[in-house]
Structure 1
């Protein structure tokens, strides 16, 4: 639900902007494609490895705490047994009378001064023990530092290079989409630090298996966005700029809520710079960076090709794409849950638990995909008027419905397998397999775009998701990499 909340807010954005006109919705579609491409390249690797690393560290810390507790209990047991042996020896030596006198004297002393053994230091010690101890998770501090730095860099990149990036996406200087697209992109870029920080913190909470906190924060921010949209777009007459400002404010609210909650649970200031896991993050982060570039470049290229078809096809493509991504992210929620559980299971070396978790999320993912296919197909076929009143745009949307709905089961399986591989820390395979999938998909995009236009683009996107699902099935199906134990 947390993963789907933001795309749902984007859908509502799309519905409000669609009331302005097809040119504006097409322009915003191009801008969102650019923003999402850069954001995913910057943050997706960080979020994915943060969830796995935090889950592993939290599990190891819990196991160490339990081991120390067992050791202390064993020491107490040994101490009690030793004391019993001493008492038995005293009894055998006939010293019970002396012990009784000592005990009697001790009891009289306690009665005379009942508070003698309860000092202020003992009371303060008990109070401190009752306070919940903050966790020491180095991965959390490292993730936040990377998120802040990457967010600032993304803002500078999008503000300074907005014009060339839009031109690269097919919005040339004479296009009517240029002005609204430029306004939306530069304003939306100001929220990049908040977006990256909030996603990094969500990765930390998911590693703790706490999915409620990110949900509450995201819903609070997105409700703010939905409330501000009509006020800024129509009442204040800011148009697409108002939509961008509403989105930026909502992202900063989400970040603030998550930061306050995280500071209550985790020591965010590490004891030293050495405690920060830069090398581990960079090594696995670069692997996933290649995966994300390969994955998102296919979707971004599809949006760019749709923009070249004109404002009307691009408007229809943007609506179909937002619905496609929103519904698919529900399956990604299962992937995140599976990732956290599987990462903990691998840290415990509990391979039976890892296998059971993987099997269950795959079953649930497939069932969810079938349900989404029916829901999205009917909803988009009969509810496209929610997003636009333009007859031509609605006609093109009906052409895309079979692809948007039909690929839902495939999308669900592909996303779930991503989570399974991340949970097993199989980042290298995820990266290299995605690069091969992207090469084939990009080739099919160009070929099918020239021959089929709008339909060709969606056929190529369907091929892209199908190849992603096959890559995931291959890894577990062959029992290779971290899943070698499945062959035994």
Structure 2
């Protein structure tokens, strides 16, 4: 059975070979960069928690709205950008006719002599990757910049979506918050609205930053995004206490500090990017917007489905009052921050798959799937062991309200023990994205979300606040199962595992 690729040759899990070292080289900086923004939100949460439970709950619901709205645009942009940029960096930018040939590779079971025949050829019959259109050729000949049209596509789309998001949140902040359960007479409404409107001013910088991170991931550079993210988050940490306590801007100060840090990150990344990539393609047709938007639309469906689940969970927590929402905010931010550490492995799997896809690679895709998944299991177990006592005793860092702390401690088993499933869900997503299996990723998430929404309504009605976390744990478990079945059953782009899983 193809599913045995997840269990065979376990002794090679941490081998210091070419694949193992490259996974760590890509995954560790990517994980730190991805976890940095949720950690910055945790810093906001820690500072705001000392203003009182009402302010903490208000910012919690505002952050939930902003993150979920941003995620709708961010996730498709980053994932599609990473895959397209990695492909173009490996085999070079292609014409519109050549793109059709390469798209056939996305559904190909393996990459050998047969898939080499699908690659565009030059006049001498060589694969396109060995012609002057290849970025590898340009780098060998001493050119300083890569020609990657999809990088410009991602930046154009992200800027437009960022401006649209800003306008929508500014004009519809109050009705959106009311739909989330913050009623007109609630003490949470005014601070939540102020925080959300101010944070929305940073939306263009957020989306542009994430698009550029996707470009850097695609060229296997995860250190530059980490550097920019650390600089931005340090800026946020420095400005937070100044704006909140010294200037007495309260929740508005936290929002302003976060917005400034986002623009710092975007400017740093743009400065670094123009040194490596030619972000202005020769013609509009080279932007590949059609291919970018087709794949992005599938991932958009996927993100909308998952966003509805998390947003509904936040709304149900809000309906239980400020104490429940404050506890939910702390647990959710920790849950997201630790889970995103796994996305570093997902990035490594996605990027490495595209380079393995190039004919002549010495590493098999089955070996990649095995190695990434076993790393994920180890990381998930480690996070669970660390997080259980850490969250149980560390909740006091975020609030001194005893009622909030009691609810946080009741959620510890769900937040901590779900980590192995969370990690594997991200890992399977990353490998499937690398195989451009976007359609399955979208439709499976829609199916899982329907089940999870039913669980949220049912369990929250019967079990209250704890029922919400049981439903979220079920959501992540079903996501993991869907990814496992897709690869383990040897279907779609993984059909080749039925015949050569152990070659």
Q: TM-score, normalised by structure 1?
A: 0.86
Looking at structure 1, the residues matched to 246 and 174 of structure 2 have their Cα atoms a distance apart, in angstroms, of 29
Q: How many residues align?
A: 432
Residues 279, 68 of structure 1: alpha-carbon distance in 2 compared, 3 angstrom cutoff: closer
Check conservation: 2:90, 2:129, Cα contact below 8 A: no
Q: Who is 1:297 aligned against?
A: 308
**In the alignment, which of 327, 335, 339 is matched to residue 316 of structure 1?**
327
1:23 equivalent to 2:54? Answer yes
> What secondary structure, in the 3-state scheme, does the structure 2 residue paired with 1:215 have?
helix
Residues 440, 66 of structure 1: alpha-carbon distance in 2 compared, 3 angstrom cutoff: same
Looking at structure 2, the residues matched to 403 and 147 of structure 1 have their Cα atoms a distance apart, in angstroms, of 35
Looking at structure 1, the residues matched to 133 and 292 of structure 2 have their Cα atoms a distance apart, in angstroms, of 31
Looking at structure 2, the residues matched to 64 and 207 of structure 1 have their Cα atoms a distance apart, in angstroms, of 19
Looking at structure 2, the residues matched to 338 and 175 of structure 1 have their Cα atoms a distance apart, in angstroms, of 45
Check conservation: 1:54, 1:137, Cα contact below 8 A: yes
Looking at structure 2, the residues matched to 379 and 133 of structure 1 have their Cα atoms a distance apart, in angstroms, of 47
Looking at structure 2, the residues matched to 172 and 51 of structure 1 have their Cα atoms a distance apart, in angstroms, of 41
Q: Who is 2:43 aligned against?
A: 12
Looking at structure 2, the residues matched to 20 and 263 of structure 1 have their Cα atoms a distance apart, in angstroms, of 42
1:267 equivalent to 2:278? Answer yes
Q: Who is 1:325 aligned against?
A: 336
Residues 134, 352 of structure 1: alpha-carbon distance in 2 compared, 3 angstrom cutoff: closer
Q: CA deviation at 1:358?
A: 1.6
**In the alignment, which of 239, 249, 263 is matched to residue 250 of structure 2?**
239
Looking at structure 2, the residues matched to 308 and 149 of structure 1 have their Cα atoms a distance apart, in angstroms, of 34
Q: Who is 1:478 aligned against?
A: 489
Q: CA deviation at 1:327?
A: 0.4
> What secondary structure, in the 3-state scheme, does the structure 1 residue paired with 2:495 have?
helix
**Which consecutive unaligned segments of at least 5 residues does structure 2 have?**
1-31, 94-126
1:281-296 matches, within 5 Å, as: 281-296=292-307
Check conservation: 1:342, 1:358, Cα contact below 8 A: no
> What secondary structure, in the 3-state scheme, does the structure 1 residue paired with 2:146 have?
coil
Looking at structure 2, the residues matched to 427 and 409 of structure 1 have their Cα atoms a distance apart, in angstroms, of 23
Looking at structure 2, the residues matched to 355 and 198 of structure 1 have their Cα atoms a distance apart, in angstroms, of 33
Q: CA deviation at 1:352?
A: 4.8
> What secondary structure, in the 3-state scheme, does the structure 1 residue paired with 2:197 have?
helix
> What secondary structure, in the 3-state scheme, does the structure 2 residue paired with 1:161 have?
helix
Deviation string 1:422-474 (CA, Å, 9 cap, x unpaired) is: 00000000000000000000001000000001110000001000100000001
**In the alignment, which of 417, 437, 446 is matched to residue 428 of structure 2?**
417
**In the alignment, which of 175, 180, 185 is matched to residue 174 of structure 1?**
185
Q: CA deviation at 1:44?
A: 0.8
1:228 equivalent to 2:259? Answer no
Q: Who is 1:3 aligned against?
A: 34
Q: CA deviation at 1:370?
A: 0.3
Residues 420, 390 of structure 1: alpha-carbon distance in 2 compared, 3 angstrom cutoff: same
**Which consecutive unaligned segments of at least 5 residues does structure 1 have?**
74-127
Aligned-CA RMSD value:
1.8
1:33 equivalent to 2:33? Answer no
Structure showing greater Rg: 1
Higher helix share: 1
Check conservation: 1:362, 1:413, Cα contact below 8 A: yes
1:255 equivalent to 2:286? Answer no
**In the alignment, which of 158, 170, 174 is matched to residue 169 of structure 2?**
158
1:339 equivalent to 2:370? Answer no
Looking at structure 1, the residues matched to 320 and 164 of structure 2 have their Cα atoms a distance apart, in angstroms, of 32
Check conservation: 1:59, 1:348, Cα contact below 8 A: no
Looking at structure 2, the residues matched to 359 and 129 of structure 1 have their Cα atoms a distance apart, in angstroms, of 33
Check conservation: 1:342, 1:353, Cα contact below 8 A: no
Check conservation: 1:342, 1:423, Cα contact below 8 A: yes
Looking at structure 2, the residues matched to 69 and 454 of structure 1 have their Cα atoms a distance apart, in angstroms, of 57
Check conservation: 1:158, 1:186, Cα contact below 8 A: yes
Q: CA deviation at 1:131?
A: 5.9
Looking at structure 2, the residues matched to 349 and 160 of structure 1 have their Cα atoms a distance apart, in angstroms, of 54
Q: Who is 2:226 aligned against?
A: 215
Looking at structure 2, the residues matched to 233 and 60 of structure 1 have their Cα atoms a distance apart, in angstroms, of 50
